[in-house]
Each structure stands twice: as C-alpha cells, then as structure tokens.
Amino acid sequence: MVVCDSGGDSASGVTTMRANDFRRIALGMEGAVEGAHMGHPDFRVNDRIFATLHHDREFGMVALTPDQQEQFMRAHPDAFAPESGAWGRAGSTSVRLASVHEETLGEAVTLAWQNTVNKGASTPTRKRSARPVRRSTKR
C-alpha cells in the first residue's frame, strides 16, 4: 500500500473536503449504498459499514486495518486519528475532512471498501444461536 503524501494545507494545494465530497467518494465504490447508523450517515457494501460521516459533518470514519491506520496517521497526522476505544484499536479511523486531500481520502475510502468486501467474502455472517435452556435436575 502506498499512502499519498500530499500533506500541508490549502496554501500547499490541499482542497478542503466537505461531507458531500466524502459522500461522493464513498458512493463511488462498487455496490456502495448510503444508510443511517445511530443518527448519522453510513456507507455500506454487502450490508457492512465501511465508512461513516460524524454528526458534525467535519469528520468521517473509514474502516481500516490497524496497520493501514498507522500508515495513514504517520503520513497525515493532522487528518487521521484512531476512533475512540476498541473500535479505534481495531482500525476504525477518524478523518478530519478539512485536513485531507481528495486523493488521500479516496485512497483511505477505497481501502476501507476493499477491507469490508474481503471481510464479507471470507467470513460468513454468524447467526446467533438460542441460549441453551437449563433444565432442573430435580424431579
């Protein structure tokens, strides 16, 4: 994986991304659909979330692997950070839209989409089994 290094701010050529740009890139992925999750937009492929927009529309989330997350954070520390808690440790990565170049955002969203497609292909959805019923041994 090559992480683009277009770094910097608007003066150095980074165009400020907005929620509609994030949405356009996410929906550009094959089979992607927009839904809603906990009151904010999410983007899914095969019924699995690969990206979301935060409530404030200033941040998005991409579902990267921990290694991909580390590479993006190293290359673009102003734009990428782990989400809170276990989700962040598992690779869910916050993207500050005003600090990311479109090409870099496109790369991150594409990787998130690929991760989700590959995860769906290799791991069947588990059905929750009914809990066993305890039966009294007394008669």
Residue-level pLDDT at 14: 56
Grade residue 11 by pLDDT with cuts at 50, 70 and 90: very low
Residue-level pLDDT at 16: 80
Count the residues in the chain. Answer: 139
**111 touches 72 (CB < 8 A):** no
Could you read off the pLDDT of 63-103 as tens digits, one per residue?
A: 999 999 999 999 999 999 999 999 999 999 999 999 999 99
**Phi, then psi, of 110 in degrees rounded to 5:** -60, -45
Which residue in 15, 50, 13 sits closest to 33, CA to CA? Answer: 50
**22 touches 28 (CB < 8 A):** no
Tell whether the model's pLDDT for residue 132 goes beyond 50.
no
Dihedral sign, CA of 115, 120, 121, 124?
A: positive
Could you read off the pLDDT of 14-40 as tens digits, one per residue?
A: 578 999 999 999 999 999 999 998 889
Q: What pTM was estimated for this model as a whole?
A: 0.78
CA distance 46 to 101: 28
**Residue 43: strand pairing partners:** 34, 51
Which residue in 118, 126, 98 sits closest to 50, CA to CA? Answer: 118
CA distance 47 to 49: 7
